Amino acid sequence: GQARILRITNDISQAENQFDLIVAVEAACAKFDHFDKYTHDEEIESGVAGVLFFQLERVVTSSKPRDSEIELLVSALEMVHRCSCHSIKNSIKAAGKYAAFQVPCHIVEKYTRYPQHHACAPTIVCLVAKLFTNFTKATGVMQRMAENYDIILVMVHVLECDMHEWVKMEAINVLAELAYSEETNSVMIHVDGFIDALTECANSSNKKIKEGSARAFLNLATAAENRPILGSRDDTVNVLLKCLHESSNTTRKCAIGALGNMSACEENKLRLVNYGNGEIVKTLLFAARSDVNKQLRKDARGVLAN
């Protein structure tokens, strides 16, 4: 196996024209499309991620970047980064911030600006989001991403633009992971349009998008400095109240947790109690007594005790 990985790495690194590169990366995708973490660790160790990052940067910054090459390269990168946290950390350290973060951001920016001009825009954007989600498995990397304005901004652009729901779901996954950053200097809540886009997604009729958005609000509200900002926004409080009435246990649980975290902040307490003529308190009282889920009844009581 190791000899084949090294051969693929060599072929990608030595590809001098479009045809050779496509053949080499197609071979890589055929070999790397699996979920065996240890084999992916071997792939990373062979240096294949480095040559893929290098070729991606070269293609993206060339005078005529081709969608087919970009799609294949991002696809191969997503596959090899299904590895362990340790390998992710090593891979990104070796590649550097520009290749690992900025080049993928540039790609998302390009394909969300005019998605109608590129048939494979949804697939490419979805693959970049999956790649970013893979990166977040390594805590140190996740914290650096949460401090990177561009990463959050391009994921917000995915939510704002006219993309398929399955693509938006991947962007919400990235944002929900990055929102959980108690120890970082996260810039998330201050990124242009972020809370607006997340609130709109929490209003979505798609169950998975709604669940992901509620989880992102819960994770955002774990950071004390975010609570006053979230609590001061009518639209956010209103959408979390709506989430309390959802049939999905996950959505209700995340909404209860988010409101609980927000109510731990003094300046929010009175506002949440009085919101909509006491609507939040009434809904939580009902949940504490009658929710079908025992854990959610307990969570609701915990929030009311705040």
Percent of the chain, pLDDT > 90? 89
Q: What is the DSSP letter of 36?
A: -
- The contacts of residue 76 (CB under 8 Å, 6+ apart) are 25, 28, 29, 32, 48, 52
Q: What pLDDT does residue 184 have?
A: 56
231, 271 Cβ separation under 8 angstroms? yes
Tens-binned pLDDT, residue by residue, of the chain (306 aa):
789 999 999 999 999 899 999 999 999 999 999 999 999 999 999 999 999 999 999 999 999 899 999 999 999 999 999 999 999 999 999 999 999 999 999 999 999 998 788 899 999 999 999 999 999 999 999 999 999 999 999 999 999 998 899 999 999 999 999 998 655 567 888 898 999 999 999 999 999 999 999 999 999 999 888 999 999 999 999 999 999 999 999 999 999 999 999 999 999 999 999 999 999 999 999 999 999 899 999 999 999 988
Dihedral sign for Cα atoms in the order 133, 135, 139, 141: negative
pLDDT digit string, tens, across residues 70-101 = 999 999 999 999 999 999 999 999 999 999 99
**Span between the terminal Cα atoms of the chain, in Å:** 57
pLDDT digit string, tens, across residues 274-300 = 999 999 999 999 999 999 899 999 999
Nearest alpha carbon to residue 89 among 127, 134, 129: 134
Give the DSSP per-residue string, 133-198.
HHHTTSHHHHHHHHT-HHHHHHHHHHHHSS--HHHHHHHHHHHHHHH--TTS---GGGSTTHHHHH
